[in-house]
Structure 1
């Protein structure tokens, strides 16, 4: 079996877009855009599953990610995970750049399991998170000069938030630690503390430190919904932003090793709906026509 075909079979986790912490192409997104976003999600999900596979060597992961990239660009054999995205990109005249950058992040995951400082972590987010927002914006025809910067801040915040929520699991299952070594040292924490049932005071302090920095990123990204021309996308991003703020604030007081940080589904939906409605209510006051 070829490396490309392997990506569609043995490495898949079974996780889908409905299992993610934040909405992926929810029904707020116009139906004409959802197929492209879901094709992008499924492609990068295949890459993420390779990077997180416990039984593959780093070298094997890199080879499989390279095959997945070649399937998208046409430099190698076809892959069932790449074909739908390849069709969507061709139909819209979009390049494969954002998807390929995410594969670069997965290659980092295959080779690297520790981060020295905040800047190094944000560099990882540049490839692991920011391309997702940029792709969605490009699909909607938004102006990069108006929206990329604030989108990048929100996407980086979502990535760090996910890292903090999953910090114990990532350490136990993958020996992967995204909390920067500099932050751990600053608060007298050690990597091994991530394997305990409850976070120590030192580790809690490190997590709060990163949560506060994440709230700063979310504040940078706060103007994004009002800069977006597509009304439905504006509502979607407003909902995601509100949920991220509340979850990040939760990490200031909750222990992700022993407590649930997520809200229940009903509360999740209520919060998202309120934020989306707020974004809709602001549309007449944006100063430019909305799609």
Structure 2
């Protein structure tokens, strides 16, 4: 995913200095996806993408992913992962102002808003009991809010010419 986003930045004439923010967004999305799918990945693919050392420290076992609900130790591991996601999302904020393409900035703002919303829902929910996702209307509203926020930011940061006599 990193290379694809970097390719988009390069394709749209963006600077290499935008790469760290793009990488942070991609990393956050990857962790969110792993948390959303943690139970299904274990049950159907026998794969676990949660940090084993964190699980051991919290008294969580891989087999907890097969339960009907997340036990407290696994909940703490999830919360620790989401603390990292939230830090990555903060690191991703400089992405939109760094992009030269307004459309790519709008898309990135929508993705960032969706990631924030999913992080909040994952923190409040139990991805072992049920898949945490956004409904289509909620996703559209959240993405739209992200785009509007970016439009507002860009408008506030636009170059201004002084008005004579004012």
Relative to the length of structure 1, the TM-score reads 0.52
- 1:174 Cα deviation from its structure 2 partner: 1.6
Counterpart CA distance in 2 for 1:213 and 1:161 is: 10
Structure 1 residue aligned with 2:90:
219
Q: Conserved in 1, the CA contact under 8 Å of 2:34 and 2:49?
A: yes
Structure 1 residue aligned with 2:52:
181
- Root-mean-square deviation over aligned CA pairs: 1.4
Q: Conserved in 2, the CA contact under 8 Å of 1:225 and 1:237?
A: yes
Moved over 3 A (4+): 284-288
1:133-152 deviation digits (Å, cap 9, x = unpaired)? 212212222111x2001000
**2:112 aligned residue (229, 235, 241):** 241
Gaps of 5+ in 1: 1-128
Counterpart CA distance in 2 for 1:130 and 1:182 is: 26
Counterpart CA distance in 1 for 2:34 and 2:4 is: 16
Gaps of 5+ in 2: 160-166
2:164 aligned with 1:277: no
Counterpart CA distance in 2 for 1:152 and 1:245 is: 16
- 1:287 Cα deviation from its structure 2 partner: 6.0
Q: Conserved in 2, the CA contact under 8 Å of 1:158 and 1:244?
A: yes
- 1:213 Cα deviation from its structure 2 partner: 1.0
- 1:157 Cα deviation from its structure 2 partner: 0.4
Counterpart CA distance in 2 for 1:267 and 1:252 is: 17
Structure 2 residue aligned with 1:141:
13
- 1:286 Cα deviation from its structure 2 partner: 3.7
SS in 2 for 1:177: coil
- 1:285 Cα deviation from its structure 2 partner: 3.9
2:7 aligned with 1:152: no
**1:197 aligned residue (55, 61, 68):** 68
1:16-57 deviation digits (Å, cap 9, x = unpaired)? xxxxxxxxxxxxxxxxxxxxxxxxxxxxxxxxxxxxxxxxxx
The count of aligned residue pairs is: 159
Question: Which has the larger share of helix?
Answer: 2
Counterpart CA distance in 1 for 2:57 and 2:112 is: 29
Higher relative contact order (Cα pairs below 8 Å, separated by 6+ residues): 2
